Structure 1
Amino acid sequence: MPDLEDLFVEFETAAAATFRPPGVADAQRRIRGRRRRRGLLAGLLAVVLAGPASALAVAHRADRPEPRPTPSVSPSPTGRLTVRTVTLPGVPGELADLRFVSARAGWALFDTCVDAGESRSGCRRTVARTVDGGVTWQRAGLPAVPDGGFQLLPVDTDTLVVTTRAGYLVTADGGNSFTSHPYEAPPVAVRRVFATPSGLYLGCPPDGVRPNCDRQRVLRVSGGLHFHQPPVTLRSDTENALVEGADGRLWLTVGDDNGLTVVTSADQGTTWQELPPVPRAARQLALAPDGRDVWLVRTTQPNGVWRLAGTRWEPGPALPDDTDGIAAPGAGLLVVTSAYGGLGFVTGGGYVEVPELRGPLRTSDPRDSDPRTSVSVLPDGTVLAQHGRSWFLGVGRGMDRSWFQYS
């Protein structure tokens, strides 16, 4: 039986494009190199039968040479970082995971597990929820769960899917109660983890339950195939992802060794249009939550970005040499992380670092095997960064944001 932690990583990576905050860049690093033949969503329940935005980037990334650090242009450090410790009185263990769905709402996991992977033991787990930006946390009514793999997959403020070795635990009332479901009979909430806001997702027909298939299709959360399929073949050996902005436009990407194919629909998949390819093989689609900014990105050297103007891709601003993670918060901006620590915004005028994050994002916790920083954008436009066991929210618009650290 495959290692469940590996499967959960794949499960999480498949949800990268659904505007969830799963720590996608970290998941991609963990899964990169484990298999050559990939289908990011080889059936919605691939992880289910073998036993889960934003990054707003749908990535097709190979291992890269270590970039060279480049000087950055930074404003005077006038911002302030508010540090919030995530605690729950009377609960044993330490903060193990944190998943925000907006600037105000999120879910936290505390556990006492020792060791790692499927050998985790001595696990007493507690889930908590915040609706005030992490000022206070309320304990959820999570039932006892077995040792081993465990994953938080939030859907929204009130709905959370928890994966365990035994199956799914689901709450739809903010954690007051949970229902239990075997992997063989997943509830609708599981499909919603992957689905676009309008209820579409990629999976194996007819119902998305099959773990593998030669060709994926666009399916509906309510059941069955979507009425109009895109004019591309979604093979199991390509990286396929479907995303949707707040404007209702759908964006389907198919990635392979030759680059990225992008197909879009402005009428919920009734008609589809394939966009022209971009030179130098862009590897990521970055979509702002409002759907207005659409970018193609290449973070391997030589890196570059292209912004969609009508139906044409036009070259965008230069990225720093050491760009590692990238996401689109809107307003013509890109938010990027450095392979050496730090976070900033890329504008038409260059790179502007967020100085209040410079120190925290370059500090390593000895418990972290990979101290690099992931970045995503939540559906409300909040920037979310994770660095080891610390999480950072940038609340506001554009580059004018208040920054909060949670650990």
Structure 2
Amino acid sequence: MIGRAPRSLTALSLVPVLAACSAIGDVRREPPARTSAPPRPVGTAPAPSPEADGVEVRRAALAIAGRYDRPYVEFTDPDHGWALFGSCGSRPPARNCPAVLYTTLDGGRSWSRVRHPRPLAWDQQLHTAPGMAAIRVDREGWYTSTDGGASFPRTAGEPAVWRVAQGRFQVDEATGRVARWDGRRLVALAAQPSVPRVDTVGEGGGLLAAAGVDDDGWPYAAVSSDGGRSWRAGPLPSPGGEVIVVRVRTAPDGELWLVGERPDRTGLPALWRHRDGWVPVTAPQRPDRVGSVAPLGAGRVAVNGPEGPGLLVDGRYERLGWPVGPEHHLSVLPDGTVVARGPQDVLLGAGGGTDRRWVRVVVQDG
């Protein structure tokens, strides 16, 4: 899936200080980290740490010369991940603090350093997708590896392997039209969906969906069952408040969802699930503030925010006992593994349903 303003599956910006963009598990902004813990009632014992709740901890202190900030860590599947150390004391890369890149092949149990192609570049982004990693440097181009970091050949524009990772159907940034990637370039579809300002497109369950918002703030969506040769389009059921953009999301089981962002990007987004048409998903006791959402499939969507993780399913809201804090940003991998990325760690939740096996990955300089 890719939208009008595409974001990386994994992106880390250094412009000029370290700032992380959200992954494609979720396109909403990450909530700010808490600066203090909420007050605890007098006379009660502190909540047990996640490590005491059966969470496997994989901690790595990597031997790097210098005093680096916490790295930005992303996983493309439960085994393969990347860690970019890109700042020291919130300052961008420099000769005494060059950017350093690591990779893991065993879910964070061990890490190997790979050659960073441009360790002193200030304006750089790390992009990852299954089978590839790339460093994009402003005004220079892309340095892309498909061999686990052994080499990073340079291209002036987006490499084909990155475009392929965005999906067969994409929104052409130059024209705003829905297009298909033919292996070399984007080719606009002859039939375009009747959607004002298409934000994103995505596939799932044998369907192609496009969504966007008109000038009055009303959401629209279109669905095609023949690869974009024809479309069924129309306005969506009431979003229950203003939305500024609508994203197509695909759950691991192929179920199509739409996520309508609120203007402040912290309110519970408008949610629609495709079931022979777009059906609103809500619950009476839902949280008001949400930092991230992750469609799990089978009519379930996980949410996380100041109240902690929860689940919207069958018109009700349930709290989840996941070892996830309010600062964690939820996404879901194609195999169904839930990823919760926080400023200090990354949690991987494998298994189906809400009962998952959790691993906490902590990476820091030694």
TM-score (norm 1): 0.67
Alignment partner, residue 35 of structure 1: none
Q: Partners in 1 of 2:110 and 2:20 — Cα distance?
A: 34
Alignment partner, residue 223 of structure 2: 264
Q: Which has the higher contact order (CA 8 A, sep 6+)?
A: 1
Question: How far did 1:121 drift?
Answer: 6.5
- For the aligned residues, what is the CA RMSD? 3.7
The answer to whether residue 153 in structure 2 is matched with residue 187 in structure 1 is: no
More strand by share: 2
What secondary structure is seen at the aligned counterpart in 1 of 2:62? coil
Relative to structure 1, the CA distance from residue 110 to residue 298 in structure 2 (aligned partners, 3 Å threshold; closer, same or farther) is closer
Alignment partner, residue 187 of structure 2: 225
Q: 1:322 is aligned with what amino acid?
A: R
Q: 2:77 is aligned with what amino acid?
A: S
Q: Partners in 2 of 1:155 and 1:301 — Cα distance?
A: 29
Question: How far did 1:265 drift?
Answer: 2.0
Alignment partner, residue 35 of structure 2: none
Alignment partner, residue 233 of structure 2: 274
Alignment partner, residue 336 of structure 2: 381
List gaps (5 residues or longer) in structure 1: 1-10, 24-29, 33-51, 62-68, 70-76, 205-212, 363-371
Relative to structure 1, the CA distance from residue 243 to residue 389 in structure 2 (aligned partners, 3 Å threshold; closer, same or farther) is farther
List gaps (5 residues or longer) in structure 2: 13-18, 31-37, 39-49
The answer to whether residue 14 in structure 2 is matched with residue 55 in structure 1 is: no
**What does 1:170-185 align with in structure 2 at a 5 Å threshold?**
170-182=144-156, 185=157
Question: How far did 1:402 drift?
Answer: 1.4
**What does 1:3-82 align with in structure 2 at a 5 Å threshold?**
14-15=6-7, 20-21=9-10, 53-56=23-26, 79-82=53-56
Question: How far did 1:346 drift?
Answer: 2.7
Question: How far did 1:230 drift?
Answer: 2.3
Q: Partners in 2 of 1:107 and 1:191 — Cα distance?
A: 20
Question: How far did 1:98 drift?
Answer: 0.9
TM-score (norm 2): 0.74
Q: Does the aligned pair in 2 maintain the 1:129–1:138 contact within 8 Å?
A: yes
Question: How far did 1:115 drift?
Answer: 4.2
Q: Partners in 2 of 1:163 and 1:296 — Cα distance?
A: 28
The answer to whether residue 282 in structure 2 is matched with residue 308 in structure 1 is: no
Q: Does the aligned pair in 1 maintain the 2:193–2:210 contact within 8 Å?
A: no
**Which of 349, 354, 358 lines up with 1:399 in the alignment?**
354
Alignment partner, residue 15 of structure 2: none
Q: Does the aligned pair in 2 maintain the 1:99–1:152 contact within 8 Å?
A: no
Deviations 1:100-140 (A, max 9, x none): 111221111124545446x8664422222222211112222
Alignment partner, residue 257 of structure 2: 294
Q: Does the aligned pair in 2 maintain the 1:56–1:288 contact within 8 Å?
A: no
Deviations 1:239-263 (A, max 9, x none): 6112223x34322111355132112
Q: 2:252 is aligned with what amino acid?
A: P
**Which of 240, 244, 255 lines up with 2:213 in the alignment?**
255
The answer to whether residue 289 in structure 2 is matched with residue 322 in structure 1 is: yes
**Which of 320, 341, 345 lines up with 1:353 in the alignment?**
320
**Which of 282, 304, 328 lines up with 1:337 in the alignment?**
304
Q: 1:15 is aligned with what amino acid?
A: R
What secondary structure is seen at the aligned counterpart in 1 of 2:71? strand
Q: Partners in 1 of 2:258 and 2:159 — Cα distance?
A: 34
Deviations 1:137-167 (A, max 9, x none): 22223334333122210021x2111112432
Q: Does the aligned pair in 2 maintain the 1:287–1:327 contact within 8 Å?
A: no
Alignment partner, residue 108 of structure 1: 83
Q: Does the aligned pair in 1 maintain the 2:255–2:274 contact within 8 Å?
A: no
Q: Does the aligned pair in 2 maintain the 1:79–1:402 contact within 8 Å?
A: no
Q: 2:7 is aligned with what amino acid?
A: A
Relative to structure 1, the CA distance from residue 56 to residue 274 in structure 2 (aligned partners, 3 Å threshold; closer, same or farther) is farther
Report the identity percentage: 23
Q: Does the aligned pair in 1 maintain the 2:85–2:101 contact within 8 Å?
A: yes
Q: Partners in 2 of 1:98 and 1:144 — Cα distance?
A: 18
Q: Partners in 1 of 2:5 and 2:345 — Cα distance?
A: 20
Q: 2:304 is aligned with what amino acid?
A: T
Q: Partners in 2 of 1:239 and 1:251 — Cα distance?
A: 10
Relative to structure 1, the CA distance from residue 218 to residue 88 in structure 2 (aligned partners, 3 Å threshold; closer, same or farther) is same
**Which of 156, 160, 180 lines up with 2:133 in the alignment?**
160
